[in-house]
């Protein structure tokens, strides 16, 4: 499981340095801690402009529940982007004025982000992206497909590891239940695969090609064989 975390939760060492990107984007599929990571990036002066993108999708209900519990909000029936905008304002005193609220999945997140940046005339040769640990590599592959000439700077919202009993070593704010986290991680491997059933160019064409190392495939297969988790199935509501 930890090997899947290392593979999926991409982080570039210089990602949160001042001036690392033209624009920083937080995606709504992240757990609550993604808002704190994003706030630290903005406070560090990582980019001139900031954006949050996220409508509704498979993780929205979990994010709403985390906001309700952590922040005491009664009304959370809004988009992921609106939730994180309010969180950044109330928890960190930061304002983000670029919001994408229509997307429903990873691919539409990327398209909406790029369309908004173009429409607003925001420079985005270098784009910092913050997404949940499980989906960071897929988000990177989405940008490589739709904006191959742009430079993507990756910084996963968290890299949460487990011990031998699959208990979290250090759970960040709003962390998924362990069984959901394992399901999300396992679900990424067949999605990232560049074959007839995957999301790559040889399959559904949602993302650029991703090389999946042999040890990642072995880890995924071992988890399946052990019955340790079930890969998350796609929800047709957010296709």
7's tokens = 């593979």
Q: Low-confidence residues of the chain, pLDDT below 50?
A: 238
* Spatial separation of the C-alpha atoms in residues 172 and 161, rounded to whole Å: 11
- The pLDDT of residue 57: 81
* Spatial separation of the C-alpha atoms in residues 87 and 2, rounded to whole Å: 29
Q: Domains of the chain by range and CATH?
A: 8-154 (3.40.50.620)
The Cβ-side half-sphere exposure at 153, using a 13 Å CA radius, reads 22
Name the DSSP class of 238. Answer: G
Per-residue pLDDT tens for 122-174?
999 999 999 999 999 999 999 999 999 999 999 999 999 999 888 999 999 99
Give pTM, 2 decimals: 0.93
Nearby residues of 179 by Cβ (< 8 Å), 6 or more positions away: 229
* Spatial separation of the C-alpha atoms in residues 130 and 156, rounded to whole Å: 5
- The pLDDT of residue 238: 43
CB 50 within 8 A of CB 23: yes
CB 159 within 8 A of CB 170: no
Q: What crossing angle do the helices spanning 106-120 and 136-146 adopt, rounded to 10°?
A: 50
Q: Give the start-end residues of each E strand in 148-187.
A: 151-154
Q: Which residue has the tokens 């925001």?
A: 122
């Amino acid at each position: 499981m930890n090997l899947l975390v290392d593979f999926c939760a991409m982080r570039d060492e210089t990602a949160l340095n001042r001036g690392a990107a033209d624009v920083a984007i937080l995606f709504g599929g992240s757990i609550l801690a993604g808002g704190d990571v994003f706030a630290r990036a903005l406070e560090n002066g990582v980019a001139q402009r900031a954006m949050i993108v996220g409508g509704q999708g498979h993780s929205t209900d979990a994010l709403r529940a985390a906001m309700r519990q952590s922040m005491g909000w009664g009304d959370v029936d809004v988009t992921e982007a609106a939730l994180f905008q309010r969180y950044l304002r109330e928890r960190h005193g930061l304002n983000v004025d670029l919001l994408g609220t229509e997307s429903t999945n990873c691919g539409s997140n990327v398209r909406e982000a790029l369309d908004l940046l173009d429409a607003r005339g925001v420079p985005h040769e270098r784009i910092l992206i913050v997404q949940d640990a499980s989906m960071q590599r897929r988000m990177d592959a989405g940008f490589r497909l739709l904006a191959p000439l742009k430079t993507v700077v990756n910084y996963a919202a968290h890299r949460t590891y487990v011990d031998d009993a699959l208990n979290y070593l250090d759970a960040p704010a709003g962390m998924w239940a362990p069984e959901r986290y394992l399901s999300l991680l396992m679900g990424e491997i067949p999605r990232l695969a560049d074959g007839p059933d995957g999301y790559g160019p040889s399959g559904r064409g949602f993302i650029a090609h991703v090389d999946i190392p042999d040890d990642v495939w072995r880890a995924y297969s071992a988890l399946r064989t052990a019955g340790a988790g079930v890969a998350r199935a796609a929800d047709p509501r957010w296709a």
